[in-house]
Amino acid sequence: MSVYQADAIVIRSREYGESDRLLTLFSREQGKLQAIAKGVRKPKSRQRAGAQLFTYADYLLHKGHTLDTVNEASPRESFPHLWNDFERSLAATGMAELLDVATLPGQPHPELFTLTLTGFFLLEHYSPFLIQGAYALRLLHILGYHPRLENCAECGAKVEGSRIFFSPAAGGIVCSHCRGAYSGRWVAAGSLAFMRQLLYRDMDKLDRLRWNSSLRDEVLAATEFYCEQKFERRLRSWQMRNLGCGRESDYGSESDKQH
């Protein structure tokens, strides 16, 4: 089929050539795909809204030999709250980058599509980094990579203590008897308990959770560490949580030009 439809979210948007954009879309039907949006950087382009990062739209695409082309885009939601608040934009950027890193083109994941769309909506009213952390852990769960956070990932024994060894290679926390075989980091038991809440509590009830800055930083750092080790990729936009505006990301800055 040379022309097809996709119900999709823009998870990456980069300048391409003189007036085009190369979009990475995550669709409900096809999973991740790339397409060229021609002429959208021209001031009078009618398709500009459909090429903006985070946009949720109905796309009509033409199948190409190497890259598909956007024939038409009908935006459903542009999520203005993700552009009007720095922390919300940062959290959405981190979610989009993780989704891109964690998935392969052409593999449908309807649950991930729904999770991403839900997360973008919840970012309007909920603590942005709370949603980002919950999103990452649930993405791992959907893909079968979620960490074991209560019993030893190696032997299944109950793990206790104020600080617990957390190893992506093992698949979660590790007891003292099994720890020698794995690399990892020490994480406070309270942070691991909070991660369990982020993973298993209903998304629409996450606003009931409360955390201070130290708990937030350790939970997000441990989640970032686990994701990077599992997918063997640095999450550049997640680093911006600590560095502020000092470091740009291809996902958030939209500044990566290709010719």
Task: Tell me how far the alpha carbon of residue 73 is from its chain's centroid.
Answer: 23
Whole-number Å distance between alpha carbons of 183 and 205: 34
Q: How many CA atoms lie within 13 A of 210 on its CB side?
A: 0
Integer CA distances (angstroms), 37 to 41, 71, 75, in order: 9, 8, 14
Whole-number Å distance between alpha carbons of 98 and 233: 9
Q: Encode 44-75: b = buried (16+ Cβ within 10 Å), e = exposed.
A: ebebbebbbbbbbbebebbeeeeebebbebeb
Residue 242 has what pLDDT? Answer: 65
Task: Please report where in the chains the tokens 């809204």 appear, as a residue.
Answer: 49
Residue 162 has what pLDDT? Answer: 96
Residue 40 has what pLDDT? Answer: 85
Residue 138 has what pLDDT? Answer: 97
Nearest to 194 by CA among 133, 146, 143: 133
Task: Please report where in the chains the tokens 């996450």 appear, as a residue.
Answer: 206
Residue 256 has what pLDDT? Answer: 37
Q: Determine the length of the chain.
A: 259
Residue 259 has what pLDDT? Answer: 32
Residue 163 has what pLDDT? Answer: 97
User: What is the tens place of the pLDDT at every residue in 9-39?
Assistant: 999 999 998 899 999 999 999 999 999 999 8
| 3 state SS for 4-66 | EEEEEEEEEEEEECCCEEEEEEEECCCEEEEEEECCCCCCCCCCHHHHCCCCEEEEEEECCCC
Whole-number Å distance between alpha carbons of 221 and 118: 23
Domains in the chain: ranges and CATH: 3-77 (2.40.50.140), 81-253 (1.20.1440.120)
Residue 245 has what pLDDT? Answer: 35
User: What is the tens place of the pLDDT at every residue in 85-110?
Assistant: 999 999 999 999 999 999 999 999 99
List alpha helices for 53-181, DSSP H: 81-84, 86-102, 110-122, 128-142
User: What is the tens place of the pLDDT at every residue in 235-244?
Assistant: 999 888 765 4
Ranges of residues in the chain whose predicted pLDDT is under 50: 244-259
Strand, coil or helix: what is 95? helix
